[in-house]
Structure 1
């Protein structure tokens, strides 16, 4: 049997009602450099070179449906929103492959606003983006509540290699083994030859440690999601209420469905990745032109958003 009888999938028409409670009553000033959204989150647009720079110094009260135009689609906002409903006075979010930590920051800001004690962890292997995460946390007044871990998430404590990226490239992924000692470029999953450097790793076992559950585990790892999630699945089932996965090929999506549905997780919402199979690539992810998303609910935790629970 696959799936569970506890959770209901999220329909597109329900998304506004799920997101609306995150709306901030008093929006902060954009100070001429931020994009301020409906939830009161300030994003330093000049820090993000791929973002439309005309958003600098603007405020929007619109819900991010179908997208916000610079950060993500509505599905990831839904994942954040449903994770904020729990039976505790605390909230915990772990963002792996964090970039500038948009979800860790937003989760902590919204949880604190609702009166919960909140903590976040953001894991990012690329030094510039790790600094962005620290800046974004400070810009939203939660830098003391978010730990930025400059490392790559993997299934063991080891050393891997990570590409040296320019500012606009958010598609970096680790390679097994250390970087070439002579600095020679290595081929990445897209078929590009890029200089790599050594990075230390952290595991989900260390990130999820402690007695408190993690309300949202957000994973975005450019095609190596299975290598990180599946070896830690027993622990994830014990500790994580909601799992949001940025997906980068259909194989990953299918494997997650086949594995998690058999273990009584519920797939609440998804948008499949899109690929164009032109030419030759070293991996399926190399063909992907638009990432996908999956939002999973753990049936072992019953303190879910009322819209997600099937009425008996």
Structure 2
């Protein structure tokens, strides 16, 4: 081949090689993109298998969480700050929040260390439905979790706030008061009652707990007899507390939210107190502790005209053929139009 012919052929060959290199580069980039997309889809698929995504809801739960998320939050070294701006002391949950002071948490999608989409969204749904003043009662309030979270969310909306909690553990009572003060509430905004919620007034026994931050599942003994009270007093293993009805706790005022988490007693409580619930409550969020309890609550509230808006069943394991609760369930109920005071 002459030099002239080679000169004529060389440019097309160079272009061919350049086109081939470009094609290989584009193919590799496409393969990489496809791999990343596949991994992303696999991750999303795995995430969707998370049981906390398996709730049923009549409103947009994720939208509720995202609308309540606060921008420009400032970290506090002494607290964990959540997406609403609520401050939580790590002392309340040793072993869970150790070393997390100064952090700001994103919205709990699908869950965080305390609760999941279902419970957060149902509680905040009550805030969205409130007008002018937000009143909430939390039965078995612990550190005042749902008082603080819904109270701050209501305040963020510009609502005035009145919060009431009842708790049997004296250590948790102090946690609740501390948390409410840390989140900017004064005694004008809240009451924390050292006692036990019951269908009717009486006396209850509550186990004494040495480390309040490490124990969150104590159950009271309701309708204690004179003998049980004397034995409890002598043993010093129980606190003798007042048992109060919902009417006494609510002071006869309508409630935008009643949060119930009383360690397995919720169905009995609702069965016995349903008339007070119908009279005073606009929205209920319930932590459920068995499938049987969930069914009983549904039967009672549906028969009384309530509408189920959120449901994520209790997560169970099976041990020797017996269902064992692993994670509490969640139900969110709205009063019928006739029952909205």
* 2:240 is aligned with 1:198: yes
> What is the aligned partner in structure 2 of residue 10 from structure 1?
57
Q: Tell me if 1:140 matches 2:186.
A: no
| Shift in alpha-carbon separation, 1:278–1:80, aligned structure 2, 3 A | same
The correspondence of residues 159-174 of structure 1 with structure 2, limited to 5 A, is 159-165=203-209, 166-167=211-212, 168-174=214-220
2:250 is aligned with 1:208: yes
What is the CA distance between 1:226 and its match in structure 2?
2.3
Quote the residue 2:117 is aligned against: 74
* Partner of residue 240, structure 1: 281
Kindly indicate whether residue 97 of structure 2 is the aligned counterpart of residue 52 of structure 1: yes
Cα–Cα, structure 1 residues 50 and 288, in superposed 2: closer, same or farther, change >3 Å?
A: farther
Unaligned runs of 5+ in 1: 1-8, 186-194, 304-312
Shift of 1:85: 2.3
Distance, in Å, in 2 between the alignment partners of 1:236 and 1:11 is 22
SS at structure 2 position matched to 1:103:
helix
Within 2, Cα distance between the matches of 1:240 and 1:181?
34
Q: Deviations over 1:162-188 (max 9, x none)?
A: 112233121101113144247559xxx
- With 18-27 and 100-109 compared, the bigger mean Cα shift is at 18-27
1:127 to 166, 170, 177: 170
Could you tell me whether the CA contact under 8 Å between 1:16 and 1:63 is conserved in 2? no
| Mean CA deviation greater in 119-128 or 17-26 | 17-26
Task: Choose 1 or 2 for highest CA Rg.
Answer: 2
**Is the 2:270–2:297 contact (alpha carbons within 8 Å) kept by the matching residues of 1?**
no
**1:101-112 equivalent positions in 2, closer than 5 A:** 101-112=144-155
Bigger RCO (CA 8 Å, 6+ sep): 1
Residue by residue over 1:76-121, the C-alpha shift from the partner in whole angstroms, topping out at 9 and shown as x without a partner, is 2112211112363111010000000111112222212222111000
Aligned with residue 219 of structure 1, among 260, 265, 279: 260
Aligned residue number for residue 252 of structure 1 = 293
When residues 200 and 78 of structure 1 are mapped into structure 2, their CA distance, relative to the original with a 3 A threshold, is: same
CA shift for structure 1 position 11: 5.8
- 1:277: how far off? 5.2
Cα RMSD (Å): 2.5
Asked if 1 retains the 8 angstrom alpha-carbon contact of 2:196 and 2:243, the reply is yes
Equivalent position of 1:307 in the other structure: none
Alignment-derived partner of residue 293 in structure 1? 330
Distance (whole Å) between structure 2 residues aligned to residue 34 and residue 248 of structure 1: 30
Structure 2 CA distance, aligned partners of 1:280 and 1:164?
Answer: 33
**Structure 1 residues 182 and 239: CA distance shift in structure 2, 3 A:** closer
Q: Distance in 1 between matches of 2:193 and 2:58?
A: 35
CA distance, structure 1, for counterparts of residue 109 and residue 303 of structure 2 = 31
Q: Secondary structure at the match of 1:16?
A: helix
Question: Structure 2: which 5+ runs fail to align?
Answer: 1-55
Secondary structure in structure 1 of the residue aligned to 2:276: helix
Structure 2 partner of 1:27 = 73
User: How big is the shift at 1:73?
Assistant: 1.4
Separation (CA, whole Å) in 2 of partners of 1:301 and 1:17: 28
Measure, in 2, the Cα distance between the counterparts of 1:214 and 1:89. 13
Residue from 225, 231, 234 that aligns with 2:272:
231
- In 1, the alpha carbon distance for the partners of 2:99 and 2:313 equals 29
> 1:205-243: per-residue Cα shift (whole Å, max 9, x none)?
1123334x2111000000111232222212212221110
Q: Is the 8 A contact 2:232 2:240 kept in 1?
A: no
Residues 241 and 115 (structure 1), Cα distance of their counterparts in 2 relative to 1, 3 Å cut = same
Partner residue, 1:265 = 306
Distance 2:89 2:338 in 1: 36
